[in-house]
A and B are shown apart, each in its own frame.
Chain A
Amino acid sequence: MRRAAAAVLALCLAAQSALAQGYEERRRRLIEKTARVADDRLGYGHIAARLWLREGVPAAERRLRELLEGDISGDMFWMFPMTAISYLDRGQLSDATRALIQRSWKRYYPFRGDTENHWLLYYTSMYLMAQKWPELGGEAWFNGKSSKENMEEARRWIEGWVRLTTTRGQGEYDCTHYIGVYLLPLSYLAAWAEDPRIRKQASMMIEWVTADFAAESLDGIYVGAHARTDDRQVVEKAAGVSSDFAWLLFGQGRETPPYGGYAVFYAMADGPEPPEILRRIATDRSRPYTHFEKKRTRNRWRFHDELHGPVYKTTYMTKDYAVSSDQGGVLQPVQQHSWDVTWRLDHPEGRHNTLFSLHPYSGMTELEAYFTFSPDFGTEAVYRSKVTYDSPDKLLGGSPYERIAQSEDAVVALYDIPAGTRFPHINGFFSKDLEEFEEDSSGWILCRGGRAWIAYRPLAPYVWKPIEGGGRRLFSPYLKNGTVVQAASADEFPTLEAFRKAIRALKLEFRLEPKPRVTFRTLRGRTLEFAYGETPRIDGRPLDYAGWPAFGGPFLNAKAGEPRLVMTHGGVRRILDFRTLTVLEEKIPAPKQAGRTQGD
């Protein structure tokens, strides 16, 4: 008991200490921890850290030579640490080692990969290494292209990606893991590109990606709908690389473990501390707000007329919890997460602080749309690396048979699953860390997570199944199905009984035939009407998908199609304009920060 109390105290002190530390201190601490590895166990990241610190370099260089003289692998995940090592060299490595590094870009053929994060890593590395050796001909490079050709191709792709992302949204949007894979190469370009335009563009994109996260960060946890997350991070919300960055950039949450991956490389590339306005946006949860975003799907190679489809996100944020969703459907293959309630905990490590439902879809239509897999081997090819993809018990992934509507902290998810579909049921995730759990006779399931009350209304009968690792799964084997969720703060309802009374008083009408349809009067006094396959209506007005902003809310605003992001907090406004590559920060009269709802 005493030991547990001491551990809690230590954690509290560590958290306080993170806030007290400045960014530079956190950054250095991260790099120092990374460098502290036995000489014979050094990997590329550790070697880079020693070069950054200018400590223990002889052993690092010996180990680097061993690695490069061995069997190289890793594709773009080899390229980015090699790029860091080359730029952190700063006169510390011998000419012979530098020559060995250069030869390795001929000896080894790194594959470009098939996702945007792969390509950003690949082209950033190509750009910077070609910049380092500008006169090399094609005979010196694995791909037979000269430095000039490689650099120009990389520049074209990077600039095209920036244009696409700042006008139509990120394709791998709001990823708990891949946010790091975007911030890392951008930090390289901001630090090491000689072309001031590339440097400026990259530093603005770092702000853009960080702002995107900051507005949906609940005390350092990336909430809500994600293009990609994974089996662990979808339930243990603090386990993402995003939380590493929340600690590094804003001093929130936990300290990144030693060799914490992408955050370390960001730190070593002198990745910038976010401007004060972003720190405020990431941390100010003094008033609830609704935040909208428009993103795009991953490249859809088949079955669609357009390469990218729209993603409409809604996030409701409070100091105690957040509710977030997309519109449903398959927007990303395999690792999509479409909606959830996430609650804040003082110490979320190892805790499953979220609740959601999904249809566990697995099918070649999804895989063939987004991948070039063959029809017979595609599913197996996926589940060899994404082991739960073809599991009926899975808690990760979008479904073509799910549609979602949200109004503030109320969500309705409807399911209309064709007969014969693989895994014809709904999974609801109920965490091991929920408290005061009750199945009310009204049909609502009431529970508390942290300081969030959550009411979950299954629209079809269900049974409970255990989840390995704790918690239980609501299993509902009905093809026409649905979930209605309403969240609230413990500040509003001091007891479960008070919350139950309020929920029971809410008007809820639904039917499942011929298609699922719900009318729900929310706790916030809105009427949410939603039928599967139709545009949701809030207080009688259909959601305006056509006018959905790239960013919309009290903190971030941008029109879809316009590469101009306005960040606002308190009396300050900061504008990133990618058309002119300018950043403007100015004082303005304090704006109203009341919550906003689509249709207002």
Chain B
Amino acid sequence: MRVLVWIAALAVCAHAEHRLHALGVTTKGWVVGAALLPGGVFIRQSSGEWVNAGYRHPLMTALAWLPGEPETLYVAAGDGVIRIDAAGRWRVLTDETVTELQDISAGPGGIIAFGHTAGFRISEDRGQSWREIAAGLPRRYGKAIRIDRTNPDRIVVGTETGFYVSSDRGRAWRLAGAAGFQAMRVEQSPHEARLWLAVTQKGGVFRSTDGGLTFEATPRDPAAGRNLYDIAFDPTDARRIAVCGWGLGVLVSEDGGLTWEARHRGLPRLDVWSVAFDPDRPGRLYASVHEEALYVSEDAGRTWRVEGLPGSIVLKMAFVPVRGGAR
């Protein structure tokens, strides 16, 4: 039955080039001891309806897919890496040695890497086997990770003490920036491979223009002192980037992350977990507002309206290419 729902979800939205996935849980109104409300992977249909595809799951934090293979998703979840194949079959790829995964990234050549509570792991065989790569990091809380899409040897990770970079797939690390700040998320521009952005707890936004080797604090950062949760590069506009956080709503930059403008008119509260630009609709931006709903803007955040998933906490959104659609 779950497989059928999954296939139907894919079929209905197959005409689009990407489909929006949201990882989250419905928490508003839930009381301890009650059965779980919908949670896990939500897929937006072309009709606008959301389908809670597959099992209900209480903790999913990020998802990734290998380049050219978007039909198979790799989800960072509370109980490991879950591989979800095109038929909607779930398989946990990790074991008892990792828990509460925080982030996941996939790169060329079948490389997948994730952050967990006590480090980072990498697989070079599509998740069949894993190698711990946190040795050499001063603290190992694996909050954020990205594999360089142009150079799979280079990995940037974020821990409780800042961001670190490795040029040899995690065998050696050096501090890249945001020293002393807890990392929250790091992303690489889909347009310019040397441009990276990283966000933190209290430290604001950090920017790299040398491929993640060094990150510098952004001047006049309106997010300093706040907690930022997510970053979205606009696939349709090389200079547009959005970040979101708690008490901040959504900040949008139109100059590649040098300056930021608050754009939250129409949002019911300023506590936002995740943002995502629609690659198929220029200017369309989604924001997940804490226990309110998903919101959508057609003008890059200047105005907002309710989109769906009422009462949810959506920790991460991603537009996944549809098989046969855009890559």
A residues within 8 Å of B by Cβ? 71, 73-74, 108-109, 111-112, 114, 119, 123, 138-139, 142-145, 153-154, 156-157, 160, 299, 301-303, 305, 307, 372, 374-377, 384-385
Contact = CB atoms under 8 A, between A and B. Distances in A.
B160 A303 contact: yes
Given A108-B55, A114-B78, 5 more contacts: A111-B79, A143-B91, A145-B92, A302-B160, A375-B182
Nearest to B117: A301
8 contacts: A111-B59, A111-B79, A142-B90, A143-B90, A144-B91, A156-B96, A301-B117, A375-B246
Contact of A377 (B55, B90, B96, B290): B290
Given A111-B78, A301-B117, A372-B117, A123 B91 contact: no
B167 interface: no
Interface in B75-100: 78-79, 83, 89-92, 95-96, 99-100
A358 B43 CA distance: 48
A342 to B, nearest CB: 28
Interface string B99-125: 110100000000000000110000000
Interface in B97-156: 99-100, 102, 117-118, 139, 141
B32 A385 contact: yes
Given A144-B89, A153-B95, A302-B139, A109 B56 contact: yes
B92 A111 contact: no
Given A372-B117, A374-B227, A73 B35 contact: yes
A367 to B, nearest CB: 13
Chain A interface mostly: loop
A385 B32 CA distance: 6
Contacts of B78: 111-112, 114
B106 to A, nearest CB: 19
B91 A299 contact: no
Contacts of B79: 111-112, 143
A376 B90 CA distance: 31
Contact of A376 (B36, B58, B89, B271): B271
Nearest to A74: B35
Interface in B23-64: 32, 34-36, 55-59
A299 B117 contact: yes
Contacts of B89: 139, 144
A144 B92 CA distance: 6
3 closest A-B pairs by beta carbon, nearest first, are: A144-B91, A73-B35, A109-B55
A375 B35 CA distance: 26
A376 B227 contact: yes
B229 interface: yes
Contacts of B246: 374-376
Interface string B221-255: 00000010100000000000000001100000000
Nearest to B40: A109
Given A109-B55, A109-B57, A71 B96 contact: no
Contacts of B83: 144
Identify the interface centre among A112, A157, A160, A384: most chain B CB within 10 Å of its CB.
A112
B201 interface: yes
Contact of B100 (A114, A138, A144, A160): A114
B99 A114 contact: yes
Given A111-B79, A142-B55, A302-B160, A375 B92 contact: no
Given A111-B78, A299-B117, A372-B117, A71 B35 contact: yes
B118 A301 contact: yes
Contacts of B91: 138, 143-145
Given A143-B91, A301-B141, A302-B139, A112 B55 contact: no
Interface in B182-231: 182, 201, 227, 229
A368 to B, nearest CB: 8
Contacts of B96: 119, 123, 153-154, 156-157, 160
Nearest to B79: A112
Contacts of A74: 35
B9 to A, nearest CB: 17
Nearest to B142: A301
B38 to A, nearest CB: 12
Contacts of B100: 114, 372
B229 A302 contact: no
Contacts of B141: 301-302
B57 A111 contact: yes
Nearest to A144: B91
Contacts of A138: 91
B92 A372 contact: no
Contacts of A108: 55
A16 to B, nearest CB: 37
Identify the interface centre among B34, B55, B290: most chain A CB within 10 Å of its CB.
B55
B59 to A, nearest CB: 7
A372 B57 contact: no
A111 B58 contact: yes
Contacts of A154: 96
A426 B100 CA distance: 35
Contact of B227 (A73, A157, A303, A375): A375
Nearest to A123: B96
A384 B118 CA distance: 27
A307 B116 CA distance: 14
A301 B58 CA distance: 20
A108 B56 CA distance: 8
A109 B99 contact: no
